[in-house]
Amino acid sequence: MSLTSSPRPLRTTTVAVVGPESSGKTTISRALADALGAPWVPEHARMYLGATGGVYGEADLLHIAQGQLLAEEHALACHPTYLVCDTDLVTILVWAREKYGRCDPRIERMARRRTYAHRLLCAPDMPWEPDPLRESPHDRDRLFRVYADTLQELDVPYTVLRGSPEERLAAALACVHGR
């Protein structure tokens, strides 16, 4: 390393944004990544389902989980100071249990092993936005509780984000910066 180059961070601060459908995950994760000058990892499921026309089965969830982790690893390879992920494997774990009544043990193991410095859980306190890939417009409050219960089951800390996009971003930045 030359004297003029800046050192790479010893450790990347990773942030995962989770929550029920249409709860503002993409909006806040993009805004947070922009505010931090960080890479943003999109939700792999959206790309996967876009390629399949929204058609999927239980076995596809493992491929989606692996794709999500691969995208995160690719972004981490550049050693950024921060990395913001628009979902994590908790979403796939919750969705598998909701849709199929069970989750592939490999997904559960991956979800338990994957660590993030911060998990942000978005409350569904904004209007539903229709999207062809969304399935649960009338069940967001219950699903929010399922996410909270699942995060507690995995024994990982999280911060709930509520309110306007500006309020959410302020809360997310405070969480990431330890305030």
- What is the separation of C-alpha 138 from the centre of its chain, rounded to a whole number of angstroms? 21
- Domains belonging to the chain, first-starting first, are 19-176 (3.40.50.300)
In DSSP terms, 16 is beta-bridged to: 85, 119
Task: Count CB atoms within 10 A of the CB of residue 30.
Answer: 15
Query: Would you give per-residue pLDDT tens digits along the chain (179 residues)?
Result: 334 444 445 589 999 999 998 899 999 999 999 999 999 999 999 899 888 888 899 999 999 999 999 999 999 999 999 999 999 999 999 999 999 999 999 999 999 999 999 999 999 998 767 565 556 667 899 999 999 999 999 999 999 999 999 999 999 999 999 86
3-state secondary structure the chain: CCCCCCCCCCCCEEEEEECCCCCCHHHHHHHHHHHHCCCEECCHHHHHHHHCCCCCCCCHHHHHHHHHHHHHHHHHCCCCCEEEECCCHHHHHHHHHHHHCCCCHHHHHHHHHCCCCEEEEECCCCCCCCCCCCCCCCCHHHHHHHHHHHHHHCCCCCEEECCCHHHHHHHHHHHHCCC
- Amino acid 104 reads D
Can you give the C-alpha Rg of the chain in angstroms? Answer: 16
Cβ neighbourhood burial of 53 (10 Å; 0-12, 13-18, 19+):
exposed
pLDDT at residue number 21: 86
